[in-house]
Every structure is written in structure tokens, then in C-alpha cells.
A and B are shown apart, each in its own frame.
Chain A
């Protein structure tokens, strides 16, 4: 399995999502679902809020959403090459994960971004 994060335009996601789906006969007619031969799970994060503000009562409200559609995919084997151009690597803090995949994502992140500050070994603080 492989866990990757993606950002796509709405139209691109609609088109690429269709390549992950299959249709089977369900109890009330055809049922479309993700093809288990390709993906274990898909979590559609959607348009991530990039700027938060407050409403009249001081409650948090999203003021600006990213135009890109964020999707997390747990691939059955390796990721489909057609998705490679849409891979994103947010730092492994405060980002959606499939339960138990946080550590693997951090490992993959540092393999893909070896010079990132997150991946540098720390040095101890001495008195």
C-alpha cells in the first residue's frame, strides 16, 4: 500500500476519480464504488481553508478557500502514474491521515524532501 496526498482542480479530480471507480450490481441497482484493486480508501478533504476570519459573533469562519481540491488516497499497491503530477507534500504536522499512517507519511515525506527542515536531525541544547 502507498499513502499519497494530492491537489487537483475540480474538473481534474472528477475525471481522475472516474478512473478509480467500478460499478457493480447492488441490492437496488448498479452501485459505483472505488475499485479495491486500485485503492483501499479515498478521503476527499475538499477545498482547504487558507485564511480564517471571524463572524460577527467572533466565531471562526473560512474567508478564503484554496481553488484546488485536496484528496488523500491509500493505494492498494503503487499510486497510479496518472496522479503523479498532482502529488503534494505538506509537512507531516496537522494534516489529515488515515489512522496509523502518520509515521509512514513522515518517512515518505523525508524521502521525498530530504532537505526539509522537518527532516533534519536535531542537536541538543547544552547548559
Chain B
């Protein structure tokens, strides 16, 4: 304990003496964020952080922001809302960052949105998909990805176009999957599909057999599951074990991550996943983003990284147009901005709610993700219907 204190004291003394020297150099633009680097959201949180870093590198290579270097100050919120709140207060009031960017997950974003509002700092939230966050009259928060409610819009569309009639919807009982389910059920009803079963399961549930037995008895044409990752894998596997054979089966988060297929192997075939982004999509800057990312992190980016990257670029663009870091000026630009990045389109309504970005549906075919919806972005046709397990 005392060593820690002594080293802290020493570091402070050093900083103190160097202070005057540093003050002469141009102060960098500090962007603060707390990310889930440990805890439940560790994986996507880390990807998001990597996206921020690639963006910072790109901005700095092109001369920085307003002629100043861009520097991210990032902390680990351990996937906890209480910690995240403390950290955003710290970033704004002690580290005195010039701007903040969003954390991972809707829940944590909701809990820190009040803080950025209080201090009037712009908060671009690349990974909050829940509509309710953006409908509370907040002025400084901006959405980048498509909302949860439309995650399975493409799935319902494809089913309706093929004349399918019944759907079962299951979801994890947390913020995002619930919102997703609500949207899916609404769309299904609008397109004339009958919801024969709708049930939620607790977070962390691993045994879906009773649920699947109920589904099998209800015999729906298609099954939609609003999931994260572990549950998506477990449900797919248990569907095989219990011989549940819908004509189409889709999951939300998890279906588009490479590990999904690595874990399930051929059992993952024919599964539809919805994703905010796929590297095969024809957006500008894709190749540059991919090569920069894979060079720095030695693995493929997920959509979390792409969203983080895009969110940071969008913020930078607004700052450039406002020619200032002042929150109100940047905010005005963000409201007007229409931009297409490697991640897709950006445009928001007066609440900061995303209205331009499009979700795509992928399907696993021969171990590869093929974009099957919407038609203008697709690079393959869906394999329909999904054959029963014993005929594969």
C-alpha cells in the first residue's frame, strides 16, 4: 500500500515538473469513454474500444481534429452501471475531457445519459440500440446503430413474402432483447403473421428444453429468438436435440459472430442472424477500415468495432463542420448531418434517434455468412426452407 502511495507521489512530482514544458505543446483533444473491458460485456466492449482506437489513428494520420491530436481516455466500467456512472463523472469533472463517447450496451448507456446531459456534453452512443433511451427529451445524445425494434424486420419480411403464417418469439429478459421482441411482434402482426407463442427466459439460462417442447407443440412456421450469444448457441443446439424444425429460425446478437459457427459447426447452417454491419457490404471506406483494423489487432472486426469506429468518425465530422468543440455547436451539426461511413448510413431525427442506418440479415451457408436481405445489399439468396434435422 505504501509503495503505491510513494510511486503515486513520485509520479505526481514528475508530472508537476514536466507540466510547464507540456503546456507549451498543443493540447490534444481528449475524448473520454468507459467501456466494458471485464465482466459480462467484456468481448463486445473490447471490440468497441478497438473501433475507437482505429478511428483515432485514422484521424491523427490525417492531421487530427481541428489541427490537434485526438486522444482517447478510456476506463473499464466492468459492465456495471454504478461504476460507469462514477467513471463518466470522473472523465468529465476530473479528467476534463473535451467530449465523451458512449459505453457498451443499452443499460449502461441509459444510466450515464443523465450525466452527459447534466454537464452538457455531446454523447455519441455507437452501441445503444434501445429506442427509449432517445425518447426522453435528452438533447445531447446521438444514436448510431439501428434500434432494437427493427433487428428482425428483415426476417419477418422474408417470411411474409413467402406466405408463412405463424411465428414463435422468445427472448432473454433484459432491456435490448425485450425491445427487439416488441418490435418483431408488432411487425409480425402488421404483416399478417400469427404469434403462437411468446415467452422470455432469464439471463444466463442454459436449459431451453421445456421451452422448446412448448414451441414444438405450437408448431410455428418460423421461430425468432431475441438473444445475446450464449443463449443463441444453446437454443440452436437444443433445437437439434429435441428435433424442432421450423422453416426459418433467426437470432439477433450472436448469429453473426464467427464463434457462432465455430461452436456449432454444421448445426449452425441455415440459421439467420441479424447484424448491423457485415464486411461484405458495399460501403465506402470498408477496405481501409478492414486493413487498418486487422493490421492493428490481428483479427477480423465485429460490428461493435465498426460501430465504434463510425461513431467516432461521425463525431469528428460534426466537429469539423462546427469548427469548434463547443457542445451546442457540435450538437446542431450532428442533428443535420447525413453521412455514409464504412458502417453504413447516418441521419437522426430531432431526438437524436437513428433513422437512416439499415440492418441486414445474414444466413449461414456452407460455413460462411451470406447477406440475404435487403435485396439491394444482398450478395446471395436465402436457402429456404430450412430442412429438418434428420434430412441434413
Q: Do A and B bind each other?
A: no
